[in-house]
Chain A
């Protein structure tokens, strides 16, 4: 497939924004259960929500470049019964609205406490809104991953590892960003976030390698024999029927060599996995962590590029040679 950069940026930005919000809610849940004492919590949650909203907003803006007619995008809410894309289009604005309300409650101090002081869990309005957002957040992760995993013809994507990796990579990058934020806003919580980030990153790296390993062993269902229905071991395309370009020759080929794809793979293994993991293990310095977030983001862009570019579409069997 030809990697659409609008989608590469959108999915990576959604991931980091969603992961950042999950990190905030992890802290708030522990705090409301009295496991943690967080000083100046509302400021941390508020600014965290602003950053999460910024990532989601830029991702949404980026995704509109993928559409031929963004002015009609509202129509995409109609087919939620069958289309994962439609489900994503519904869940994203719902999540953004909930994060906006959550951040607003924290900033404005309008949080209402529902439980009496001393209850095992402090349930406040922001806590309820936050948990609603967590549910929508996970739904959005699944919807984003399933857009790709639902296409049964693209066997590289047709795999449980596709949505799992969207969740793991997004959450790991978001937790890394949350750790960087906490070094400024809530230094007391950096240790916990650091540990959680290390665990998530290790699991995410293992998940991505499992997906790469699985994709290296695919046995393709279709071949040129089934594509044209002729039983012979030697079939060669002599002409695709035209000598210019078409949507078929542009959209479904990465137009990059295997060597280039492998170089990108090594690039994201270093940038998205090795450097951020080593950084967060070694230090909790704010500057170093912000640099790690930036490096990991660049790595994730490469990872998403590789995810698209390494997918093989069966229609390519019909476009093997110009003629």
Chain B
């Protein structure tokens, strides 16, 4: 079994929205997704379809805060709740590689699958009236005319900080599996039991622990110049003050 997925490294995501725009550009021009509608793009109350968003969260209280840029797209759940609810079978999970897809010719636009997704990963296209979602750029992955290194989702190729990894999470030695294993990759809303295939790598900060006494060298030669403690006349042996 293959399960293609993204692993998103929150540690290096800088929130530049490059994945958002490259996704929109590729998918609105592709033959598999149709156009991704923008209503009133330059007017009041714009409204549009995106497969991917970068959100920003602030963790902690000022002044001890962390800004987390959080890219969010379809997680291609292994137990995808949006698939069994579809009345027409338009929403399906591809056998070959576990990508959750919508057949736009079968979709009746009832919106039921979007209700059944706890992550809000599906958007009803306001003009084409069918449900749309991240396809992991199947048209790139399947396109054998592309050079091997370009058969990846558009967002992965365009990420300037390499915050998005792509691969088979069922292969224990793949780049994504190693990253999840060794860097604490986690899933979103694990309590909902959807088993998302996409994982997120947490923030980490390099830290070194220094204890107070480590700041003072025991054998600091400068001390020899200082005032030495007086052992007093009652000191019994030289060991009591030899360390000074």
* Chain A residues in the interface with B (C-beta under 8 A): 1, 66-70, 72-73, 75-79, 82-86, 89, 147, 150-154, 221-222, 224, 226-230, 232, 234-242, 244-248, 250-252, 313-316, 318-319, 323
Contacts and interface: CB of A to CB of B under 8 A. Distances in A.
Given A228-B68, A237-B56, A246-B123, A82 B84 contact: yes
Contact of B87 (A83, A222, A252): A83
A226 B189 contact: yes
B146 interface: no
Given A69-B109, A251-B124, 18 more contacts: A72-B88, A79-B84, A79-B86, A79-B87, A82-B84, A221-B191, A221-B192, A222-B192, A228-B68, A229-B200, A230-B203, A234-B60, A235-B59, A237-B56, A244-B45, A246-B48, A246-B123, A314-B118
B85 A89 contact: no
Given A230-B57, A234-B61, A238-B57, A152 B81 contact: yes
Interface in B102-136: 106-112, 114-120, 122-124, 126, 128-130
Given A227-B189, A228-B57, A315-B117, A85 B85 contact: yes
B170 interface: no
Query: Which one of B60, B108, B109 has the greatest number of beta carbons of chain A within 10 Å?
Result: B108
Give 4 nearest A-B pairs by CB, closest first.
Answer: A68-B109, A68-B129, A315-B120, A244-B46
30 contacts: A72-B108, A75-B87, A75-B108, A83-B84, A83-B87, A85-B112, A86-B87, A147-B112, A151-B85, A152-B193, A153-B192, A221-B192, A222-B118, A222-B191, A227-B188, A229-B186, A234-B59, A234-B61, A236-B58, A238-B58, A244-B45, A244-B47, A244-B48, A247-B114, A247-B123, A248-B123, A251-B111, A313-B115, A316-B120, A318-B119
B179 to A, nearest CB: 15
A83 B54 CA distance: 32
A314 to B, nearest CB: 4
Given A236-B57, A237-B57, A314-B118, A226 B188 contact: yes
A89 B193 CA distance: 28
B89 interface: yes
Nearest to A80: B87
Is chain B's binding surface mostly helix, strand, loop or mixed? loop
B115 A245 contact: no
Interface in B44-73: 45-50, 53-61, 67-68, 70, 72
B192 A248 contact: no
Interface of B: 17, 20, 40, 45-50, 53-61, 67-68, 70, 72, 81, 84-90, 106-112, 114-120, 122-124, 126, 128-130, 186-193, 200, 202-203
B243 to A, nearest CB: 45
Contacts of A84: 85
Contacts of A78: 87-89
Nearest to B104: A69
A11 B1 CA distance: 42
A230 B186 CA distance: 10
Contacts of A69: 107-109, 129-130
Given A230-B59, A235-B57, A318-B72, A222 B115 contact: no
Given A232-B60, A247-B123, A68 B17 contact: no
Given A235-B57, A241-B53, A319-B120, A75 B129 contact: no
B106 A75 contact: yes
Contact of A68 (B53, B67, B124, B192): B124
A156 B192 CA distance: 15
B108 A246 contact: no
Nearest to A222: B189
A85 B189 contact: no
B48 A318 contact: no
A155 to B, nearest CB: 11
A204 B216 CA distance: 78
A318 B109 contact: no
Contact of B53 (A73, A230, A236, A240): A240
A75 B202 CA distance: 43
B59 to A, nearest CB: 5
Nearest to B71: A241
B49 A85 contact: no
